[in-house]
Amino acid sequence: MVTWADADAAVEAERSRRIKRVENMTLITALTLLLCAVWLAWPSLRSLINGDGVLLTSFGAPLVLLIWGIFIQDLTLDDATARARVASASTVAWPLLICLGALGLDQTISNTTAGSLLIVLAGITCRQWSHRTMRGHFGVLRYRAILTGIGSLSAIALTLSNGGSFTTLPVALAGFVCLLAIVDTVYSWTVGDDQKAERKAFRKRLDQLE
More confident: 178 or 58: 178
- The pLDDT tens digits for 190-201 are 876 666 666 677
How confident is residue 1, by pLDDT bands cut at 50, 70 and 90? very low
157: pLDDT strictly greater than 70: yes
4: pLDDT strictly greater than 60: no
Cα(62)–Cα(150) distance, integer angstroms: 20
How confident is residue 8, by pLDDT bands cut at 50, 70 and 90? confident
Cα(105)–Cα(95) distance, integer angstroms: 16
- Please provide the distance, in angstroms rounded to a whole number, between the alpha carbons at the two ends of the chain: 70
Q: Is residue 120 classed exposed, middle or buried when 0-12, 13-18 and 19+ CB atoms within 10 A define those classes?
A: buried
Mean pLDDT on 5-10: 70
The pLDDT score that the predictor gives to residue 9 is 76
Residue pair 90/75 in contact (Cβ under 8 Å)? The answer is no
Residue 135 phi, psi (nearest 5): -150, 170
Contacts of 194 (CB under 8 A, 6+ apart): 135, 136
- The pLDDT tens digits for 113-154 are 787 888 888 888 888 888 888 877 777 888 888 999 999 998
Q: Where are the alpha helices (DSSP H) in 104-168?
A: 111-133, 138-161
- Check residue 51 and give left, alpha or beta (phi > 0: left; psi -120 to 50: alpha): left
164: pLDDT strictly greater than 60: yes
The tally of CA atoms less than 13 A away on the side-chain side of residue 146 is 6
Q: Angle at the Cα of 190 (from 184 to 196), degrees rounded to 5?
A: 120
The pLDDT score that the predictor gives to residue 87 is 82
Q: Angle at the Cα of 183 (from 182 to 187), degrees rounded to 5?
A: 120
What Å distances lie between residue 141 and 60, 125, 154, CA to CA? 28, 18, 20
Instruction: Write down the domain spans for the chain.
Output: 7-209
Residue 195 phi, psi (nearest 5): -115, 15
Contacts of 195 (CB under 8 A, 6+ apart): 136, 137, 138
- The pLDDT tens digits for 77-123 are 666 777 777 788 888 888 988 888 888 777 677 777 787 888 888 88
- The pLDDT tens digits for 46-78 are 777 777 766 665 676 677 777 777 777 766 666
